[in-house]
Amino acid sequence: MPKFQPVRLKLKSGEELEIREAVPEDAASVLRYTDYISGESDNLTFGPGEFGITLAQEEEYLRAQTKLSNSIYLLGLLNGEVVASLSFAGGARPRIKHAGEFGMSVLKAHWNKGIGTTMLAAFLDWCRGTKEIRKVNLRVRVDNHAAIHLYKKAGFTTEGRKSREFQIGDGFIDSFLMGLELD
């Protein structure tokens, strides 16, 4: 039985977003999606051609995620096409198993439809339902105002700042460390 029950939710655009857990058979689609988004935004930790994961490695990663109780990889699909992803990895050792960090992306063509909000809400519902995950962390560029607004709206607070977290060309960009404590 999957640890995340798939959901279909209406977006403000009227479209129906399917959110489900990724499985190893999704590896090729995930890699195509990742390759595409790498060229759409500088908000990711990698650019075009920098992801560096093979199909076999992605299949194994997704297989491992399905087995871990405190980690998950979610896909957001419109009409069967991957338009968003959210991955969360909890700690491996008992003292840090309750906390982890997530990253999320949405295809630029689908920005401002509420996909990020919907994905984040479904993910946080899953976290709360695990009774295991008690703290969710993230890193976000200090100039990614839309993402920062989304995270604050969901209850995340800024816990710190890392200087020079990103280097793009000759420039450096700091990131905020944000967190959400769950009951």
pLDDT in tens, 138-179: 999 999 999 999 999 999 999 999 999 999 999 999 999 999
Strand partners, 15: none
Tell me the C-alpha distance between 15 and 127, whole Å. Answer: 25
Could you tell me which residues are beta bridge partners of residue 114?
none
Helix (H) / strand (E) containing 150: helix 145-153
Among 111, 44, 39, 31, smallest CA distance to 75 is for 31
How is domain 7-133 classified at the architecture level of CATH? Answer: 3-Layer(aba) Sandwich (3.40)
What are the pLDDT digits (tens) for 66-93? 999 999 999 999 999 999 999 999 999 9
